[in-house]
């Protein structure tokens, strides 16, 4: 009988060595120690053992049972550790792997132009100022010497919200705000880039567009200051060879007023389809600030004078980058926008 117990122990040792998962280990436990397990059955046969041999056999049985139990506990521990290890390995994060590429947008051509203009004017001592896009009739027109019913209002077809509020049609609206806000009536040097709105929609116009306004108020300001400033402005943006042409024009807020043309940068003034064979492209409105505007906004026209100018940023961007339809600027088409990534101009 002792021999048989030894054999069970040996068989068990062989079998447990083969086991590599927890489920089989549980089965093995049942096989040996369960109610009908091999060792259990053996224990039940003790009654048939000769009494003098019982203590020895009994001790052997207990020893074997203990050995089987502890082997199973040991094995269970090993298997559980291995399982955990495997799980940890499969979940391992490799921090050295290259990351997923995030798509980074590109700077909008309009913002490129605005930033370039801001940099230039700030370097000349100007402040960058903005104003509300939902503007009052007072600031958009009246304080710029365009009283209600003035015929020059017809040039700017507007989106009125009420009879007093409208979407501003020009950044000139910021002029009066800046003059009024400057309480001590000291000199002013500002540019105001921003969105403007008119009831228009074709290849060269959009209901929303962008302008930049410039305003300088000081003593002894002359037309020469205006010309010099616009020359620096346009040459920086469109190339050093750019020439300017001032044509007399009319704006209610300036006197005298001018339309300012730049020499065509495509044909250098020779005449092409871009400049409609004239060699010139109309780009800005400008003039010397009207005394009425100074007076209305708290400046003494006897002491102060000034110049102002305004231009369309969309048109500037179109010329600068060769964009043929203004509406591309507002369509958010990634194929269009991403082209400017590669351009460092
Ligand atoms: N605000 C004018 C427009 O939108 C442009 C303009 C002309 C602005 C003359 C000025 C200026 O400041 O002096 O057509």
216 lines ligand 1 (CB under 6 A): no
pLDDT confidence of 195, banded at 50, 70, 90? Answer: very high
Provide the pLDDT confidence category of residue 344 given band limits of 50, 70 and 90.
low
CATH number at residue 300: 3.30.930.10
Looking from the CA of residue 215, the nearest atom of ligand 1 is 12
Please indicate, yes or no, whether residues 159 and 79 belong to a single structural domain of this protein: no
| CA dist., res. 186 & res. 145, Å (int) | 21
258 CA to centre of ligand 1 in angstroms: 9
Per-residue pLDDT at 50 exceeds 90: no
Residue 252 near ligand 1, beta carbon < 6 Å? no
Question: Is residue 285 lining ligand 1, measured as CB closer than 6 Å?
Answer: yes
Report the distance separating Cα 178 and Cα 269, nearest Å. Answer: 37
The total of structural domains in the chain comes to: 2
Asked if residue 98 belongs to a domain, the reply is no
Q: Tell me, yes or no, whether 332 and 264 share the same domain.
A: yes
Does the reported pTM lie above 0.75?
no
Ligand 1 in reach of 146 Cβ (< 6 A): no
Residue 102 lies in a domain: no
pLDDT interval class at 343 (50, 70, 90) = low
pLDDT at 295: 97
In this predicted structure, what is the pLDDT of residue 38? 86
183 or 274, which is more confident?
Answer: 183
Q: Are residues 216 and 134 in the same domain?
A: yes
Question: Measured from the CB, is residue 309 less than 6 Å from ligand 1?
Answer: yes
Q: Does residue 66 fall inside a structural domain?
A: yes
In a domain, 94, yes or no: no
What pLDDT, on the 0 to 100 scale, is given for residue 265?
A: 82
Whether 194 lines ligand 1, by a CB cut-off of 6 Å, is no
Does a structural domain hold residue 100?
no
pLDDT above 70 for 187: yes
Task: Render pLDDT for 101-110 as a digit per residue (tens, 0 to 9).
Answer: 887 788 899 9
**Any domain includes 99:** no
Nearest residue (CA) to ligand 1, atom 14? 285
Residue 44: the pLDDT is 83
Question: Could you list the residue range(s) of the whole structural domain that residue 247 is in?
Answer: 109-340
Tens digit of each residue's pLDDT (9 = 90 or more) over 215-227:
999 999 999 999 9
Instruction: Indicate whether 61 and 207 sit together in one domain.
Output: no
pLDDT at 105: 81
């Amino acid at each position: 009988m002792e021999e048989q117990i030894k054999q069970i122990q040996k068989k068990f040792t062989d079998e447990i060595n083969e086991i590599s998962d927890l489920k089989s280990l549980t089965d093995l436990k049942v096989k040996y120690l369960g109610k009908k397990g091999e060792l259990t059955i053996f224990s039940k046969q003790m009654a048939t053992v000769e009494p003098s041999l019982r203590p020895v056999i009994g001790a052997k049985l207990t020893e074997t049972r203990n050995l089987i139990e502890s082997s199973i506990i040991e094995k269970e521990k090993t298997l559980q550790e291995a399982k955990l290890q495997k799980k940890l390995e499969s979940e391992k994060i490799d921090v050295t792997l290259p990351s997923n590429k995030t798509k980074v947008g590109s700077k909008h051509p309009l913002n490129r132009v605005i930033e370039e203009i801001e940099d230039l004017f700030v370097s000349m001592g100007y402040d960058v100022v903005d104003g509300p896009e939902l503007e009052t009739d007072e600031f958009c027109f009246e304080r710029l010497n365009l009283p209600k019913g003035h015929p020059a209002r017809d040039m700017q077809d507007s989106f009125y919200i009420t009879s007093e509020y409208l979407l501003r049609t020009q950044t000139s609206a910021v002029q009066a705000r800046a003059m009024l806000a400057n309480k001590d009536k000291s000199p002013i040097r500002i540019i105001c880039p921003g969105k403007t709105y008119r009831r228009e929609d074709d290849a060269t116009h959009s209901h929303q567009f962008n302008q930049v306004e410039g305003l300088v108020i000081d003593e002894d300001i002359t037309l020469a200051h205006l010309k010099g400033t616009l020359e620096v402005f346009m040459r920086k943006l469109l190339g050093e060879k750019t020439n300017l042409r001032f044509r007399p024009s009319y704006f209610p807020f300036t006197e005298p007023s001018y339309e300012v043309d730049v020499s065509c940068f495509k044909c250098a003034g020779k005449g092409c389809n871009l400049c409609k064979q004239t060699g010139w492209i109309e780009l800005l409105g400008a003039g010397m600030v009207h005394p009425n505007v100074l007076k209305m906004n708290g400046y003494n026209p006897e002491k102060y004078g000034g110049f102002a100018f305004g231009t369309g940023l969309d048109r500037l961007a179109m010329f600068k980058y060769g964009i043929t339809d203004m509406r591309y600027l507002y369509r958010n088409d990634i194929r269009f926008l991403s082209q400017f990534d590669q351009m460092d101009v």
